[in-house]
Homo-oligomer: A and B are copies of this chain.
C-alpha cells in the first residue's frame, strides 16, 4: 500500500500487518499476540509492539492496556459512521475551498476536472479512478489547513477497503463527473453553502454504491441528510 517511508521496522510491520488484516489473514476480532507476530515476521516483540500502537491509532486494531490487541471489528454501524463523518469532512473542505482557494488552486482544480471529463468520454475507468483520488486530494489541499488535510486523508485511507468497485457500473463514471461538476462550479463561484451541499450529495451517493467487504450484517438504508 506503499505511501510510507518504511524507514523503520515498526513501520514496515505496521504496513505488513495492515495488509494482512485487509487481506483477511487476521479476521476481525482476532487476537494479535505480540510473540506470535514477532515469530511470524522474524523480528522481536519490540517493533511489533510499536507497529500495533501505530495501527491502533489508525483504527485498524483495538488495543486495551494489559489485555492485548485485537483486529478491530467493523460493524455495519461503525462503517456507516465513518462514511457519514467522511462526507461531512469532505463537504467542509469543499466549503473552505469556495471561501479560500487561491486563483492558482482554482485553475488547477478546473483543469483537473476538465481532464476527467475527457476520461469520461473515453470511458477510461482506471485513469478516472486515479484522477478521482487526485480530485479529492485537491479539495483537501484547497482548505490550506494541514490539520483538515491530515484528518481527511487518514479517514479516506481507513475507508478505502470499503470502496471497492465504485466505477464499474455503467453510468457511474458520467454520474460522478456530473456531481463533481456541481462541486467545482460552486467552488469557482465562491458559493460556500452550495459547495458544501453538492459535495455532501456526492459522497452520499458514493456511499450508497459501496459494498461491504467483511461478511458482517447486511446494511439498512440510512436517513437522508437533507
Binding site for B on A (CB under 8 A): 5, 7-8, 11, 49-50, 53-54, 57, 65-66, 78, 81-82, 84-85, 88-89, 92, 95-96, 99-100, 145-148, 151, 155, 192-193, 223, 225-226
Assembled-state Cα–Cα distance A41/B100 (Å): 46
By a CB distance below 8 angstroms, the chain B residues around A11 are 65
CA distance A226 to B195 in the complex (A): 13
Chain B residues within 8 Å of A65, by CB? 5, 7-8, 11
Which single member of B85, B145, B223 contacts A147 (CB below 8 Å)? B85
A145 touching B66 in the complex, CB below 8 Å, given contacts A92-B92, A151-B151, A193-B193:
no
A95 vs B145: C-alpha distance when bound (angstroms): 21
Assess whether B96 is in contact with A88, with CB atoms less than 8 Å apart: yes
Shortest C-beta distance, A149 to chain B (Å), equals 9
Question: Once the chains bind, are B145 and A84 in contact (CB under 8 Å)?
Answer: yes
Question: Do B145 and A81 have beta carbons less than 8 Å apart?
Answer: yes
Question: Given the complex, which residues of B lie within 8 Å of A5, measured CB to CB?
Answer: 65
Assembly CA distance A49 to B49 (angstroms) = 11
A226–B191 Cα distance when bound, in Å, is 10
A/B interface sample: 16 pairs, CB < 8 A: A7-B65, A7-B66, A8-B65, A11-B65, A49-B50, A50-B53, A81-B145, A81-B148, A85-B145, A89-B92, A92-B92, A99-B223, A99-B226, A100-B223, A147-B155, A151-B151
Besides A85-B151, A100-B223, A192-B226, 16 more A-B contacts (Cβ < 8 Å) are A8-B65, A8-B66, A11-B65, A57-B57, A81-B145, A81-B147, A84-B145, A85-B147, A88-B92, A88-B95, A88-B96, A88-B148, A89-B92, A92-B92, A99-B223, A193-B193
Return chain B residues, CB-CB under 8 Å to A82: 147
Closest to A88 in B: B92
Contacts of A89 in B (CB 8 A): 92
Query: Smallest Cβ distance from A215 to chain B, in angstroms?
Result: 22
In the bound assembly, the distance between CA atoms of A132 and B49 in angstroms comes to 38
Specify which chain B residues have a CB less than 8 angstroms from the CB of A92 in the assembled complex: 88-89, 92
Q: Are B99 and A225 neighbours in the complex by a CB distance under 8 Å?
A: yes
A69 to B65, CA, bound (A): 24
